Amino acid sequence: MEKDPLYRLKYPIGEFDFAGEITRAVVNGWIDEIEQLPGKLRAVVSKLSDEQLDTPYRSGGWTLRQVVHHIGDSHLNSYIRFKWTLTEDTPTIKAYYEDRWAELPDYQRVPVAVSLDFIEALHRKWVILLRELSDADLQRAFIHPESGATLLGKNIGIYAWHGNHHLAHITRLCERKNWQI
C-alpha cells in the first residue's frame, strides 16, 4: 500500500525495520554509516542560509536548525546509553522529551556550526567504541522505559537509520525548494 504524503515527509526513508540476522558485516555497514554522517551533514547544511535553516522540513515539523541540534543531542544520548550498557548489567536508561528539548533556546540561537563540530567529535569517539565491540558486547542490552529491551547490535542499526532519516529530512526539503546543496 502506498504511504500517504505526510508519512513520506515524516519518514522520508521509511521507519527503521530490520528483520535479518545482525551479523558482523551488517554491524560494520551500520558503523560506516554512522562514521560518514558528520561529513554528509556538514556538506549539505553549511551551504544553507539562516533563513533556510529556520525553515521546517514539513508543516508542523522542526526547522532544519532544530534537526541538526537534535542529531547532536540524540546521538550523545545514544553514546551514553552504549557506555552504560557496556559497564552495567542491563541498565534501565533515562528517556527524554526530544520535542521539549527542541524548544529550548540553544536549538533556536546556537549556530549550527557548533552542533556540526560537536557531532563530528562525538562520532569520532563513538565509532572507535563501536568498532571495538565484541560479539558478546553486541548482545548486551539496555531497557528503555517505553520500548523495553534493546540489544546494542540492533541499536547501532537504529542510529545509522536515525542519522540518515534526519539527513533525508534536510536534503528532501532542499530538493522540494530547489535550494542548491
Tens of pLDDT, residue by residue over 28-44, are: 999 999 999 999 999 99
pLDDT of residue 82 exceeding 50, the answer is yes
Q: What count of other Cβ atoms lies within 10 Å of the Cβ of residue 39?
A: 12
Give the start-to-end residue ranges of the domains of the chain: 23-177
> Are β-strands 148-151 and 141-144 bridged in parallel, bridged antiparallel, or unpaired?
antiparallel
Single out the residue of 99, 79, 80, 81 nearest to residue 90, CA to CA.
Answer: 81
Q: Sign of torsion, CA 121 124 127 133? A: negative
Phi, psi angle pair for 140, to nearest 5°: -70, 150
Q: How far is CA 158 from CA 52, 65, 180, in A?
A: 28, 22, 29
Q: What is the C-alpha radius of gyration for the chain, rounded to an integer number of angstroms?
A: 17
Quick one: CATH architecture of 23-177? Up-down Bundle (1.20)
pLDDT of residue 2 exceeding 70, the answer is no
pLDDT interval class at 139 (50, 70, 90): very high
